[in-house]
A = this chain, B = another copy of it.
Amino acid sequence: MEKILCKAKNMLRTDTINPVIENKSLSPKKQTISFNNPVYIVSSMSVVGQKEGKGPLKDYFDIVYLDDKLKEKTFEKAETIMLKKSIDGAIKKSGLEFTELDCMIGGDLLNQITSSQYVAREYSVPFLGVYSACSTMTESLILGSILIDGGYFNNVVCSTCSHFATAERQFRYPLEYGCQRPPYAQWTVTGAGSMVLSSKDNGDNIKIKQATLGKVIDFGTSDLNNMGAAMAPAACDTLVALFTETNTRPEDYDFIITGDLGKLGSDILRELIREKGFNLGKNYHDCGCLIFDITQKCYQGGSGAGCSATVVGSFILDKLKKGEIKNVAYLATGALMSSQSCYQGETIPCISHAVIIERC
């Protein structure tokens, strides 16, 4: 196993020197925006499946389903029900009436982000569909924050989800094929996470202060199983932009959390960012590494849009509420290929959008 990990790392190290695409506009654009008006996270709801409910964070999740199919005919249907549960739960916990909701923003991993679309039809509320793979939650939070900070709306719900069985069917092979997984693979989380953003606080005083928009980065990885290695350069790019533009260092954040590079991807990120002059210390974590433990045979850890959404929405917000930590840089990372583009010989472009969450 150690050999394969080394090979994957080396593969990426070579690519790093020769990115497949030469960027046309090389001058750095400002990627970070600050929110001058308060954008509060007033509630969140994390709904997960059985495996996630047996992991280290089991006590933090709001609902754990013992049957990943929720007694439905298809896994896709089960995914939409989990997403709806998380949205309804977040709205309920926020104390807002359904009628006070101004806008919904969301997306998911399924083709045409159908889980989100099918759930959105059940609410008589404007809907904005977004997609940046596993970075969808931070993209939603950024747009939600802009809508509130800019004074367009007061209450916005941001949500995303993923499901191990629907993602495997779509991106790799249906579970029934019984395909073997390489040791550098990650395990798609079955889960849905939602957060309600509001211009008015509910007493928790947890705010989204800043956001760093990601750029699409492609360093030539093409292995559909090796998402961590593909996404690490995108996370590095966004983190460096954040540090540089806000004049901060890694130690200025109580928690820097990526979602979801897995173990290998996190190691690569540490290395990549060291070259840029930053050292990620003990305050750096990855949602994919937190959600499963080593006995659960999830290889490099969790992945999927639902992973960081459920981990940040439960474990991290809980730490903020209790005052154990004061600020968090949350970087979700997304691999933007489709299975078709990879069959056609394409590499994997990636992105990472970040939000800075603070307790004031």
Bitwise, A215-229 to B at CB < 8 A (1) or not (0) is 111100000000000
Closest to A344 in B: B74
| A112 nearest CB neighbor, chain B only | B338
Within 8 A of B (CB), among A341-360: 341, 344, 346, 349, 351
Question: Given A25-B99, A114-B337: A126 and B344 within 8 A (CB)?
Answer: no
Known: A33-B152, A120-B216. A125 touches B76 (CB 8 A): no
- Check A117 for interface membership: any CB of B closer than 8 A: yes
Given A125-B29, A336-B117, verify A24-B349 contact (CB < 8 Å): no
When distances are taken between beta carbons in the complex, the residues of chain B under 8 Å from A123 are 23-25, 215-216
Instruction: Report if A329 contacts B (CB, 8 A).
Output: no
Nearest chain B CB to A320's CB is how many angstroms away? 25
* Min CB gap A198→B, angstroms: 15
Interface string of A128-147 (1 = CB under 8 A from B): 11111100000100010011
Q: Is the CB of B113 within 8 A of A131?
A: yes
Whether a CB of chain B sits under 8 angstroms from the CB of A107 is: yes
Do B122 and A21 touch (CB < 8 A)? Answer: yes
Residues of B within 8 A of A132 (CB): 128-129
User: Which B-chain residue is minimally distant from A22 (CB atoms)?
Assistant: B122
Interface size on A, residues (CB 8 A): 66
Which B-chain residue is minimally distant from A20 (CB atoms)?
A: B121
Chain B: CB-nearest residue to A234: B121
Chain B residues with Cβ below 8 Å from A340 are 76, 110-111, 114
Contact bitstring A70-84, B, C-beta under 8 A = 1, else 0 = 000110110000000
A101 sits at the interface (CB 8 A): yes
The interface of chain A, by Cβ under 8 A from chain B, is 21, 23-31, 33, 73-74, 76-77, 98-99, 101-103, 107, 110-114, 117-118, 120-133, 139, 143, 146-147, 149-152, 213-218, 336-341, 344, 346, 349, 351
Given contacts A29-B124, A117-B337, 15 further A-B contacts (CB under 8 A): A23-B122, A23-B123, A25-B98, A31-B126, A111-B111, A111-B339, A113-B131, A114-B336, A114-B337, A120-B216, A123-B216, A128-B130, A128-B213, A129-B351, A146-B150
Top 4 nearest A-B pairs (CB, nearest first) are: A150-B150, A126-B213, A25-B98, A117-B336
